[in-house]
Amino acid sequence: MTHSNDIMMKPVGFIHSPYNDKFAVPRQPRLAPSAVCVLEFYPPYDTENAFEGIDGFSHLHLIFLFDRVCYEEFKPRVRPPRLGGNTYVGVFATRSPFRPNRIGMSIVKLERVIRQKGRVKLVISGADLVDGTPVLDIKPYIPFVDSIPEAEGGFAKEPPVKLSVEFSQESKKSLSVLSDRCIKAIEESLSQDPRPAYKSDDNDSKMYCAKLYGFAVYFTVADLKVSVIKAERFEAVNENLL
Nearest CA to 82 out of 196, 193, 163, 197 is that of: 197
Looking at the whole model, is its pTM more than 0.85?
yes
Q: Are 57 and 124 in contact (CB under 8 A)?
A: no
- CA distances 70 to 13, 97, 125, 214, Å, are 21, 9, 27, 24
Cis peptide before 44 (omega within 30 of 0): yes
pLDDT: which is higher, 104 or 198: 104
User: How far is 97 from 95, CA to CA, in rounded Å?
Assistant: 6
In whole angstroms, give the CA distance from residue 15 to residue 145: 27
pLDDT of res. 3 = 67
Cα–Cα distances in angstroms (integers) from residue 95 to residues 62, 91, 162, 183, 234, in the given order: 14, 8, 20, 28, 31
Q: What is the mean pLDDT of residues 43-55?
A: 98
Question: Identity (one letter) of the amino acid at 70?
Answer: C
3-state DSSP helix/strand/coil % of the chain, to nearest 5? 15, 30, 50
With pLDDT > 70 as the criterion, what percentage of the chain qualifies?
97
Phi (first) and psi of residue 91, to 5 degrees: -60, -35
CA nearest to 62, candidates 17, 109, 10: 109
pLDDT category at 2 given cuts 50, 70, 90 is: low
Q: Which of 188, 154, 204 is nearest to 36 (CA)?
A: 188
Confidence check: pLDDT of 239 > 90: no
**pLDDT of 181 higher than 70:** yes
Q: Which residues contact 211 (CB under 8 A, 6 or more apart)?
A: 19, 20, 21, 23, 24, 217, 234
Q: Residue 37: is its pLDDT beyond 60?
A: yes
CB atoms within 10 A of CB 65: 19
Mean of all residue pLDDT scores within the chain: 94
